[in-house]
Chains A and B, each alone.
Chain A
Amino acid sequence: MRKVSRLSRFNIASLALGLAFLYLPILILVLYSFNASRLVTVWGGWSLRWYREFFNDRAMIEAAWMSLRVAVSSATIATLLGTLAAVALSRGERFRGRTLFSGMLYAPLVMPEVITGLSLLLLFVALNAERGFWTVTIAHTTLTMCFVAVVVQSRLGSLDRSLEEAAMDLGWNPVRAFMAVTLPLIAPAIVAGWMLAFTLSLDDLVIASFTTGPGSATLPIRIYSEVRLGVKPEINAICTLVIALIAVIIVIASLASKLSSSQGESAAPL
Chain B
Amino acid sequence: MSSRRIFARPARFAAIAPYVWMALFFLVPFAFVLKISLSQTAIAQPPYEPVFDLTAGWEALKAALAALSIDNFRLLGSDDIYVFAYVRSLTVAVTATALLLLFGYPIAYGMARLPKRWQAVAMVLVIVPFWTSFLIRIYAWINILQHDGLLNQILLALHLVSQPVVWLSTDTAMYIGIVYSYLPFMILPLYATLAKMEPALEEAASDLGAPPWQVFWLVTFPLSLPGVGAGVLLCFIPIVGEFVIPDLLAGSNALMIGQTLWLEFFTNKDWPVASAAAIVLLVVLLLPLLLYERLQKRQLEQGR
Number of interface residues of A (CB under 8 A): 104
B88-119 vs A, Cβ < 8 Å mask (1 yes, 0 no): 00000000000000010011011101100001
Closest to A27 in B: B140
A266 to B126, CA, bound (A): 15
Report yes or no: B129 in contact with A26, Cβ–Cβ below 8 A: yes
Residue of A89, A118, A209 with highest tally of chain B CB at under 10 A: A118
Q: How far is the CB of B290 from chain A (nearest CB, A)?
A: 9
Q: How far is the CB of B243 from chain A (nearest CB, A)?
A: 6
Q: CB < 8 Å: which of A32, A88, A228 contacts B14?
A: A88
A112 to B143, CA, bound (A): 26
Q: CB < 8 Å: which of B10, B128, B139 contacts A250?
A: B128
Interface flag for A61 (CB, 8 Å): no
Interface flag for B41 (CB, 8 Å): no
Q: Which residues of the other chain, B, contact A19 by a CB distance below 8 angstroms?
A: 107, 125-126
Known A112-B281, A142-B26, A267-B121: A6·B113 in contact at CB below 8 Å: yes
A126 to B146, CA, bound (A): 43
Question: Which B residues, 1 to 38, have Cβ-Cβ distances below 8 Å to chain A?
Answer: 3-15, 17-19, 21-23, 25-30, 32-33, 36
Interface flag for B172 (CB, 8 Å): no
Residue of B11, B258, B292 with highest tally of chain A CB at under 10 A: B11
Q: Spot the interface stretch: B55-63, B65-73, B79-87, B230-238.
A: B230-238
Interface flag for B274 (CB, 8 Å): yes
Report yes or no: B46 in contact with A125, Cβ–Cβ below 8 A: yes
Interface flag for B255 (CB, 8 Å): no
Q: Which residues of the other chain, B, contact A266 by a CB distance below 8 angstroms?
A: 119-120, 123
Q: Which residues of the other chain, B, contact A6 by a CB distance below 8 angstroms?
A: 113, 199
Report yes or no: A122 in contact with B29, Cβ–Cβ below 8 A: yes
Looking at chain A's contact residues, is the secondary structure mostly helix, strand, loop, or mixed? helix
B122-147 vs A, Cβ < 8 Å mask (1 yes, 0 no): 11111111011111110111111010
Report yes or no: B143 in contact with A118, Cβ–Cβ below 8 A: no
A270 to B126, CA, bound (A): 12
Interface flag for A223 (CB, 8 Å): yes
Known A22-B129, A40-B146, A123-B29: A118·B293 in contact at CB below 8 Å: no
Q: Which residues of the other chain, B, contact A101 by a CB distance below 8 angstroms?
A: 15, 18-19, 22
A89 to B19, CA, bound (A): 11
Interface flag for A187 (CB, 8 Å): no
Report yes or no: A22 in contact with B126, Cβ–Cβ below 8 A: yes
Q: CB < 8 Å: which of B6, B26, B243 contacts A114?
A: B243
Report yes or no: A88 in contact with B248, Cβ–Cβ below 8 A: no
Interface flag for A186 (CB, 8 Å): no
Q: How far is the CB of B72 from chain A (nearest CB, A)?
A: 14
Report yes or no: B7 in contact with A178, Cβ–Cβ below 8 A: yes
A–B Cβ pairs within 8 angstroms, 13 of them: A8-B212, A14-B107, A95-B12, A97-B19, A104-B26, A112-B241, A113-B241, A114-B262, A123-B32, A157-B303, A165-B3, A227-B139, A242-B133
Other 17 A-B pairs with CB < 8 A, given A40-B148, A142-B21: A19-B107, A22-B180, A25-B143, A29-B140, A40-B146, A95-B12, A104-B19, A109-B296, A110-B233, A110-B238, A113-B241, A115-B278, A142-B25, A178-B10, A199-B133, A246-B131, A268-B123
A residues within 8 Å of B by Cβ? 6-8, 10-12, 14-15, 18-19, 21-23, 25-26, 28-29, 32, 39-41, 80-82, 84-85, 87-93, 95, 97, 101-116, 118-120, 122-123, 125-126, 138-139, 141-142, 145, 149-150, 153-154, 157-158, 161, 164-165, 168, 174-175, 178, 195-196, 199, 202-203, 205-206, 209-210, 220, 223-224, 227-228, 231, 235-236, 239, 242-243, 246-247, 250, 254, 266-268, 270
B residues within 8 Å of A by Cβ? 3-15, 17-19, 21-23, 25-30, 32-33, 36, 46, 103, 106-107, 109-111, 113-114, 119-129, 131-137, 139-144, 146, 148-150, 153, 180, 183, 187, 199, 212, 233-234, 237-238, 240-244, 248, 258, 261-262, 265-266, 271, 274-275, 278, 281-282, 285, 289, 292-293, 296-297, 300-301, 303
